[in-house]
């Protein structure tokens, strides 16, 4: 449960830093790669 809260907080902070629609897409892609790598999916950071 704690991990979910931390991930949610990081996602909110990352999205808050976006100034454009393209920036939102880049942040979402980066976050998905980070999560995939964290669960052993082989994604890069």
- Cβ-contact 22, 14 below 8 angstroms: no
Q: What is the pLDDT along the chain (45 residues), one digit of tens a residue?
A: 888 898 888 888 777 766 666 666 777 788 888 887 777 655 445
Relative orientation angle of helices 2-16 and 21-38, to the nearest 10 degrees: 150
Q: Are 15 and 24 in contact (CB under 8 A)?
A: yes
* Vertex 15: Cα angle to 13 and 19 (nearest 5): 120
Give the start-to-end residue ranges of the domains of the chain. 2-38
User: What per-residue confidence (pLDDT) applies to 14?
Assistant: 73
Q: Tell me the per-residue pLDDT of 12-21, one tens digit each, with 9 for 90 and over.
A: 877 776 666 6
3-state secondary structure of 17: coil
């Amino acid at each position: 449960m704690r991990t979910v809260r931390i991930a949610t907080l990081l996602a909110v902070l990352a999205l808050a830093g976006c100034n454009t629609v393209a920036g939102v897409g880049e942040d979402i892609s980066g976050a998905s790669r980070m999560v995939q790598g964290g669960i052993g999916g082989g994604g890069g950071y």
